[in-house]
Amino acid sequence: MERYTNNEITKIEKDNKSSLILTTPFLIWITFFFLIPYLIVIFYSVLTPGVYDIKFIFSLESWKAAFSSSYLDSITHSLVMSLLTTIITILIGFPVAYVIANSSKRKQNLFIVLIIIPFWTNFIIRIFSWKIFLSAQGLLNNALIYFGLIDEPLMLLRTNGAVLLVMVYVYLPYMILPIYSVLEKFNYSLLEASMDLGANEIRSFFKITLPLSMEGIFAGSILVFIPALGTYIIPQLVGHQSSAFIGQLITFKVKSIPRNWPLASALSFILLLLVAVILFTGYNYYKQGLRRK
Amino acid sequence: MEDLRLVNVTKKFDNFIAVDSIDLEIKQGEFFSFLGPSGCGKTTLLRMIAGFEIPTEGNIFIGDTDISKLPPYKRPVNTIFQNYSLFPHISIYDNIAFGLKVKKVHKSEIKDRVQQMLKLVKMEAHKSKFPNQLSGGQKQRIAIARALINEPKVLLLDEPLAALDLKLRQHMLIELMNIHDAVGITFLYVTHDQSEALNIADRLAIMNKGSFAQVGMPDDVYERPETIFAAYFIGDTNLIEGRVVEIHDEFATVVCHTDSEHEIEIDTTYHRQPVLDEVITLSLRPEKIAISRRPPKRKDDFNILQGVIEDILYGGTHTQYIVKVGAHFLRVFQQHKKVYIDELSLDWEEHVYLYWHDTDTHIIFETDKNKVNSENIMKTIRRK
Ligand SMILES: Nc1ncnc2c1ncn2[C@@H]1O[C@H](COP(=O)(O)OP(=O)(O)OP(=O)(O)O)[C@@H](O)[C@H]1O
Ligand SMILES: [Mg+2]
């Protein structure tokens, strides 16, 4: 009996030891590249800005400033735009993923490759091409004029619409792929069962297919919403000055003179908290769904 | 009446004929079983009745209504799928209520009827669980409840017990029969387990390569197979080819030979009179043959042959002997009952008498072109 419990204990100790060894690299990584940088960010946010650098004098001014209406507006704008991006990518991504998942194995591979190919081109170059495409002398305006649909170039660039368009373009693959991976494993005999029980194609979709693809939609939404919330380069290149994303303002605070490191830090930290809250709520909701399965 | 009628039903996949012009009438309330080897088209036939496949040719009627082109959700038919196909994201209660909710039945009525179904399949205690929390047998019951609650005219079951272990299968089989008797709905039951089909069905169809080898009541099909395939597919049998040499009022005599030296004569009763000199096949079930060192005391109406034991296989309920008679090998089953056997156990290479009643021989008006029988027997003999 004694020996048995001893064995048990050594076994548990061993397990603890090996799990410690296995998680150490990750812990080191997260400490050096996440925890320490963010501690520095928090530390900077309560200091006083200098013209070029930072003065080590305690101050809560930047936190006060961060909660002023202009920054809150920018945060709201970022939230709304990323939410719209997420919704549009779901609306486009789901049908696309559905079609891919329902085609023959060979076509599936082809589609996946077609979705991945744009990644081989640099992200900024792709956004620049959109910029050229949408500009007053760009391909789109010229084509519309050529076909006599409009008389003078439309103001396409530097609008929220352009930002949304490019964000959807950039983030769509991150929505398609997780939904596809769920639909690809989907048991289609469940749809037959549903139709057998009297539900037509549309009802079966909403009662069976959609709820069972939530996992993919949820994963895709996180992959789209969070980077979209912090995006900087897209609104910078195709958006308008007056409706800046929070990411743009943060960059602006560190780039332009006089610099304001503390305010940039405070804003960054608010963005982090926002993402954390959204992730946490989303995860809890998702876990509730999982428990049922 | 709401009989199910299949008229010339055919299904082709590209050029492959999966179901070949099938005609069949099934009475309302009948328990009908399709039995056949893998790939013979059972599932395809069922899927056409359910509406998941549209027949290439032919029509399916329930009563006077042609349902062959209706989508599945408009047919008064429900299916029990082989893998149960319960919806994993909703509770057992909601699974069973699914069909009624779709039909917008009133909430309180749904509640009553689900309760009733849960009681029928003895699963009242599990209604708030989710499908992944149930065992295979329990999932099966829920699948049955989920289908029956819609009060279909026909219930289709595609190998519903295939995933269960033997004891549970036997138990569920009885329960299925009880449920069938309680609800009085037509059951179409697909299986490739012959004892299941024989046990459960009012009538059964033996399928082979997309068409029926025989349709009839279980004992009819077993005792009086019409085709070599039917005889061979259900149970074990000895198939002996021979020529009719004498026809009497009650029986015929058949000469079976491979060469003149190994000629044997067998008397058989018949249901349809053969023609003199016709070449036919005799089917003789191994359990009908008695085996002994001594000849039987009674001789009239008996066929008596002499042979040598080639192989012995112990099989629990019975022992199988392979006995060489002339150039033929016959399979004989002997049950282990002391009241029947008053002699020491038989041994390899012993000379024995085989005897059986004339009425236990059965004529099939077909010849075994593929020689499945002799080849199969040869395979079962161990080489010494
Ligand atoms: N969608 C399809 N496309 C092409 N061929 C098919 C299709 N469905 C079935 N078949 C073919 O039709 C034949 C009959 O198939 P079916 O599933 O009806 O057999 P089964 O009798 O149910 O067999 P099992 O006992 O193995 O379930 C098989 O040869 C199968 O390959
Ligand atoms: Mg099948």
Tens-digit pLDDT profile for residues A219-228: 999 999 999 9
Q: Which two tokens stand for residue A291?
A: 């428990």
Backbone angles phi, psi at B248, to 5 degrees: -110, 180
Mean pLDDT of B165-180: 89
Angle in degrees, CA A250, A256, A261, rounded to 5: 50
- Candidate from B42, B81, B209 with most ligand 1 atoms within 8 A of CB, to mutate: B42
Task: For residue A290, name the pLDDT band (cuts at 50, 70, 90).
Answer: low
In tens, the pLDDT along A152-169 reads: 888 888 999 999 999 999
Decide if B50 touches A, using CB distance below 8 A: yes
Nearest protein Cα to ligand 1, atom 20: B39
- For residue B231, CA distances in Å to B221, B228, B242, B287, B358 come to 8, 5, 16, 14, 18
Strands B31-35 and B203-208: parallel
Query: A188 and A101 in contact (C-beta within 8 Å)?
Result: no
Taking Cα atoms as reference points, which of B140, B109, B98 lies closest to residue B123?
A: B140
CB proximity list for A138: less than 8 A, separation 6 or greater: A132, A156, A157
pLDDT of residue A120: 87
Q: Which two tokens stand for residue B111?
A: 């509640």
Task: For residue B368, name the pLDDT band (cuts at 50, 70, 90).
Answer: confident
In tens, the pLDDT along B320-338 reads: 999 998 888 899 998 887 7
In terms of pLDDT, which residue wins out, B83 or A202? A202
Of A264-278, B13-27, B316-330, B334-348, give the lowest mean pLDDT range.
B334-348
Q: Is residue A2 pLDDT above 60, yes or no?
A: no
User: Residue B306 pairs with which residues in a beta bridge?
Assistant: B353
Q: How far apart are CA A208 and CA B88, in angstroms?
A: 9
pLDDT of residue B328: 84
Q: Is B44 in the pocket of ligand 1 (CB under 6 A)?
A: yes
Q: How far apart are CA A118 and CA A18, in angstroms?
A: 41
Decide if B191 touches A, using CB distance below 8 A: no
| Ligand 2 mean position, distance from CA B197 (Å) | 15
Of A26-30, A119-123, A233-237, give the lowest mean pLDDT range.
A119-123
Q: Is B13 in the pocket of ligand 1 (CB under 6 A)?
A: yes
* A236 CB burial (10 A radius; 0-12, 13-18, 19+): middle
Q: How far apart are CA B152 and CA B78, in angstroms?
A: 6
Decide if B99 touches A, using CB distance below 8 A: yes
Query: B168 and B135 in contact (C-beta within 8 Å)?
Result: no
In terms of pLDDT, which residue wins out, A283 or A10? A283
Q: Indicate the residue type of A290.
A: L
Mean pLDDT of B134-138: 91
What are the strands of the beta sheet with B290-292, ordered from one edge?
A: B290-292, B351-357, B302-314, B318-325, B328-335
Q: Which two tokens stand for residue B370?
A: 């593929």
Task: List chain A domain ranges.
Answer: 66-292
Spell A60-84 as b/e; 16+ CB within 10 A means b: eebbebbeeeebeebbebbbebbeb
- Which residue on chain A is closest to B73 by alpha carbon? A198
Query: Which residues make up the CATH 2.40.50.100 domain(s) of chain B?
Result: 236-383
CB proximity list for B163: less than 8 A, separation 6 or greater: B82, B83, B136
Beta strand segments in chain B, E: 4-13, 16-26, 31-35, 57-62, 65-66, 77-80, 154-158, 186-191, 203-208, 211-216, 238-247, 251-256, 264-269, 279-284, 290-292, 302-314, 318-325, 328-335, 351-357, 361-364
Mean pLDDT of B282-291: 93
- For residue B17, CA distances in Å to B7, B37, B210 come to 16, 16, 7
| Ligand 1 mean position, distance from CA B13 (Å) | 9
User: Residue A108 pairs with which residues in a beta bridge?
Assistant: none
Query: B79 and A193 in contact (C-beta within 8 Å)?
Result: yes
pLDDT of residue B377: 67
The reported pTM is 0.82
* A243 CB burial (10 A radius; 0-12, 13-18, 19+): middle
Mean pLDDT of A123-151: 90
Backbone angles phi, psi at B52, to 5 degrees: -85, -20
Q: How far apart are CA B70 and CA B140, in angstroms?
A: 27
Decide if A203 touches B, using CB distance below 8 A: yes
Q: Which single residue is written with the structure tokens 């009948």?
A: B30
In tens, the pLDDT along B29-76 reads: 999 999 999 999 999 999 999 999 999 999 999 999 999 999 999 999
Which chain A residues are closer than 8 Å to B102 by Cβ?
A: 197-199, 203, 207
pLDDT of residue B168: 85
Decide if A193 touches B, using CB distance below 8 A: yes
Which chain A residues are closer than 8 Å to B150 by Cβ?
A: 197-198
In terms of pLDDT, which residue wins out, B371 or B226? B226
Q: Do A197 and B71 touch (CB under 8 A)?
A: no
What ipTM, to 2 d.p.?
0.82
Task: For residue A1, name the pLDDT band (cuts at 50, 70, 90).
Answer: very low
Of A16-30, A73-87, B96-110, B271-285, give the lowest mean pLDDT range.
A16-30
Q: What is the CA radius of gyration of chain A?
A: 25
Query: B165 and B193 in contact (C-beta within 8 Å)?
Result: no
Q: Is residue B88 pLDDT above 90, yes or no?
A: yes
In tens, the pLDDT along A92-125 reads: 999 999 999 999 999 999 999 999 998 888 889 9
Q: What percent of chain A has pLDDT over 70?
A: 93
In tens, the pLDDT along B215-265 reads: 999 999 999 999 999 998 888 899 888 999 999 988 899 998 766 677 888
Strands B211-216 and B203-208: antiparallel
Question: What is the number of CB-based contacts under 8 A between chain A and chain B?
Answer: 63
pLDDT of residue B82: 83
Query: A79 and A159 in contact (C-beta within 8 Å)?
Result: no
Q: Which CATH number describes the domain made up of B4-223?
A: 3.40.50.300
pLDDT of residue A172: 96
In terms of pLDDT, which residue wins out, B243 or A14? B243
Q: Which CATH number describes the domain made up of B236-383?
A: 2.40.50.100
Query: B348 and B311 in contact (C-beta within 8 Å)?
Result: yes
Query: Which residues make up the CATH 3.40.50.300 domain(s) of chain B?
Result: 4-223
Q: Is B47 in the pocket of ligand 1 (CB under 6 A)?
A: no
Q: Which residues surround ligand 2, an ion (CB under 5 A)?
A: B 43
CATH superfamily, domain at A66-292 = MetI-like (1.10.3720.10)
Q: How far apart are CA B42 and CA B233, in angstroms?
A: 15
